[in-house]
A = this chain, B = another copy of it.
Amino acid sequence: MSASATGRRHHVVIVGCGFGGLAAAKALGRAAVDVTVIDRTNHHLVQPLLHQVATGILSEGDIAVPIRDALRRQRNTRVVLGAVVDIDLDARRVAVDTIGLRREIEYDILIVATGARQSYFGRPEFAVDAPGMKTLDDALELRGRIFGVFEMAEGERNPAARRRWLTFLIVGAGPTGVELAGQLAELSRRSLRGNFRRIDPGEARVLLLGAASTILPTYPEALRERAARDLRELGVELHVGTMVTGMDEQGVDTDSTNPRVQRIDAATKIWAAGVQASPLGRVLAKAPGVELDPVGRVKVETDCTIPGHPEVFVIGDLMGLDDLPGVTQVAIQSGRHAAQTIIGRLAGDTTRRPFRYRDAGRLAMISRLRAVAVVGNLALSGFPAWVLWLLVRLTSLGGLKNSASVLFNWTVAFLGRGRAPRVISAQQAFARQAIEVHACDAANEPALSTAAHAEGGLP
């Protein structure tokens, strides 16, 4: 029995509260529907700024907006913390798991916006040594590792082991990899200057590996070259056309013909090399006529609904449509499009309007005061691009409080050189590093002045 037949309001269920899900929920805030937003975390995450949490510029609160707070004023909207583990398209209900507590939630209209996760291209075991950059936990884990290795290097007398502690390897030369490489270079050469007595943090080696023949493949050539030049000036080593073929705690092996890059010893490995669509895509693809594209995105009709189910929208990074890029603006615009379609239907408008993406451009920060940006036909670089980057990112934070806090932290980090959120908490990194230390001890000559001994029975 449909909602209209019983006289109750339509129930719109939105799964995932990234940029797509949040935009859809907000656009439905005044509509005559009941909205339920389901997310596995309690926060909406500003993913494009994760690299700044990992490198100690921003705190996690700066880029994570409590979902309940963001939707507080919408009285038609409720928020459920939990993971959607199943979708029954025929019965029109989703199964939600909240830490083992399972419940079913029925919908009249479903918007699936669970985005994408890290892809290791068939080598999931790489995740142990090279965490990705998709969640707040990824960034906090990385922050612990990054600030931890400088500490380890300071205490290490063996030169080879010290070089290994001070080598940072980033796999993937898209915007995420480029921004992270730039920040790691600035962190070591600028922010940490004077912090150590035995090591010079500026000697840290930052390598950026890309499988494609260029960094930032989706950018125009002039910007790619400018970005490469800026990164090299910061001291980042670029190795494009290079694939990682093996990985262990000590470092990585590559298919490079350059002997310096065939084997790279690096304590910190970071994976920024690609995404795969959320596994909910596979659940939807069980329905007749619904297919996935090669990267696991759900192929949708032009109006963002799935074939045979006009009541089910797929938006954002999970949406397979015209091979649109996995950027914030596609998510936001498709979320709004779904909401407007729903509002139109309630008003009796059954036209299935196709979603048209208005390209809002793209941008990547290289270092403080430098970025590259494409806006329409305009290619910007250097300081003007950085100002644009600053404005775009600031307005994406969804709130005066977070924008002000981020602006403050940026002032401190970019005009000054402070990075306050560099805390290594015991929850982070250290259990993992303990294993690495022992492995490192076994592999090296005994350090000059330290009596290496393995407590706790680790190898």
Contacts and interface: CB of A to CB of B under 8 A. Distances in A.
A143 to B, nearest CB: 10
Taking residues whose C-beta sits less than 8 angstroms from the other chain, chain A's interface range is: 35 or more
A159 to B, nearest CB: 16
A428 B428 CA distance: 11
A194 interface: yes
B155 A61 contact: no
A358 interface: no
Interface string A30-57: 0000000000011100000000000010
A420 B61 contact: yes
How many copies of this chain sit in the oligomeric assembly?
Answer: 2
A120 interface: no
Nearest to A196: B68
A103 B449 contact: yes
B428 A427 contact: yes
A81 to B, nearest CB: 4
Residue of A78, A82, A426 with highest tally of chain B CB at under 10 A: A426
Interface in A184-205: 192, 194-198
Nearest to A440: B101
Contact of A101 (B140, B437, B456): B437
A430 B99 contact: yes
Contacts of A97: 455
A436 to B, nearest CB: 9
Contacts of A368: none
Nearest to A66: B422
A416 B399 CA distance: 13
A8 interface: no
A64 interface: yes
A123 interface: no
B155 A81 contact: yes
A147 interface: yes
B78 A198 contact: yes
B454 A100 contact: yes
Interface in A386-434: 401-402, 404-405, 408-409, 412, 416, 418, 420-428, 430, 433-434
A137 interface: yes
Interface of A: 41-43, 56, 59-62, 64-66, 68-69, 72-73, 78-82, 97-104, 135-137, 140-141, 147, 151-152, 154-155, 192, 194-198, 401-402, 404-405, 408-409, 412, 416, 418, 420-428, 430, 433-434, 437-438, 441, 449-456, 458
29 contacts: A41-B426, A43-B424, A60-B425, A61-B420, A66-B423, A68-B192, A69-B195, A73-B194, A78-B198, A79-B154, A80-B154, A80-B155, A81-B155, A98-B151, A99-B430, A99-B434, A100-B434, A100-B437, A100-B454, A100-B458, A102-B451, A103-B155, A103-B449, A103-B451, A104-B451, A137-B427, A401-B418, A405-B405, A408-B408
